Copies of this chain bind each other. A is one copy, B any other.
Amino acid sequence: MPEIRKDPVFGRWVIIASERGLRPNEFLTASEDSVYKCPFCPGNESLTPPAIYSLPSTDGGWRLRVVPNKYPALVSGGVGEEQPDGIYNRMDGVGSHEVLIENARHGLRLEEMELEAIADVVRAFILRTREIKKDPGVKYIMIFKNHGRNAGASLAHPHSQIIVMPMVPIRLVEEIGGAERYFEKKGTCVFCDIVKEEPRFKKRVVAENGHFLAIEPYASRFSFETWLLPKKHLSHFEDMPEELVLDLASILKNTLGRLYATIPEFSYNLVVHTMPVQEPRAAHYHWHIEIMPKLSQVAGFEWGTGFYINTVSPEDAAAMLNGGKKYKI
């Protein structure tokens, strides 16, 4: 089973998952293997474990499926507690890993789908999260999407992933801690302040509708990094009321569409940032989505410093996204 190891200096956890190295990579094998069968296409359901959740299509098939990942980063069973290993510490890779197949058509990208179908993807995330968090051992539920080879995707068929974790990841601890310090100092939620400030400044706004705002963040790490923020304060993604779902689907469609139109060979990571599922609602933290286009490689300076060098200012990025101008890499 996978193993979680702790770096003795940083206290940073790493998942060592050798079995996951065996997963198929369509981008590497499809060209040389003419009989490649996409495990996410209708008719190939036997290539994945049985569905945990699915929505029927009008032709008697399915239009959305959630399945356990066949090559999981974390699995159920094992000991979810730290054990010494020489001078180091480890624990079993306890958790789970699901794949959400967003639609039945291999080549249909998320933002090309009908609004109602994108809304069904959002609803499936919410429903799975509400179900999974009933287990009190579950500490964090990470919802994310890698699209395109440059973004680390191994399969082209549109899909997202849900990784269920036995601890709150360090990035979230830091993010929530930062938001808490802001709240203590200013008495307001930093994300609420961003939601107020950005439409006033205008130059970093990409899209807006009744319930959501899409911006290029002030200190964007990556060229065309884009955040989607609910306007109304809410700490937990899974507590989102139904009346927000269509607006989220709509701003996803709008924003991803602009990014595709502007950036050649657009690849991206999309991550839902939310409060740990077992924590009560909080005034200082505000769930949101971060979209990170992959235009350049993160290199030595970034790894060494934690600093990022971004060669497109968020103001320039927003102007290009709004002007329909093509970005030349």
Contact = CB atoms under 8 A, between A and B. Distances in A.
Interface of A: 3, 5-18, 20-21, 28, 73, 85-88, 140, 142, 144-146, 149-153, 161, 163, 165, 169-172, 174-175, 178-179, 182, 190-191, 193-194, 197, 201, 217-221, 223, 269-273, 290, 292, 294, 296-301, 303-314, 316, 329
B175 A9 contact: yes
A15 B298 CA distance: 13
A219 B87 contact: no
B307 A169 contact: yes
A197 B321 CA distance: 53
Contact of A311 (B20, B87, B178, B303): B20
A160 to B, nearest CB: 9
A53 B303 CA distance: 27
A305 to B, nearest CB: 3
Central interface residue in A272, A303, A306, by most chain B CB within 10 Å: A303
Contact of A305 (B9, B153, B172, B299): B172
A73 B300 CA distance: 13
A290 to B, nearest CB: 8
A10 B84 CA distance: 31
B171 A305 contact: yes
A327 B73 CA distance: 21
Contacts of A220: 14, 16
A313 B18 contact: yes
- How many copies of this chain are found per oligomer? 2
Given A16-B313, A329-B28, A300 B269 contact: yes
B299 A146 contact: yes
Contacts of A153: 299
A169 to B, nearest CB: 3
B170 A305 contact: yes
Central interface residue in A179, A273, A304, by most chain B CB within 10 Å: A304
Contacts of A165: 305, 307
B169 A309 contact: no
Contacts of A307: 12-15, 165, 169-171
A201 B221 CA distance: 39
Given A10-B175, A18-B312, 10 more contacts: A7-B219, A9-B175, A12-B306, A12-B308, A16-B314, A18-B313, A86-B197, A169-B305, A169-B306, A170-B305
A303 B313 CA distance: 20
Nearest to A218: B88
B309 A17 contact: yes
A146 to B, nearest CB: 4
B152 A8 contact: no
B5 A219 contact: yes
A202 to B, nearest CB: 12
Contact of A179 (B9, B28, B217): B9
A271 B305 CA distance: 9
17 contacts: A8-B219, A9-B182, A10-B175, A14-B307, A14-B309, A17-B310, A18-B316, A21-B311, A21-B312, A144-B300, A144-B304, A163-B301, A170-B307, A171-B304, A171-B307, A172-B305, A269-B299
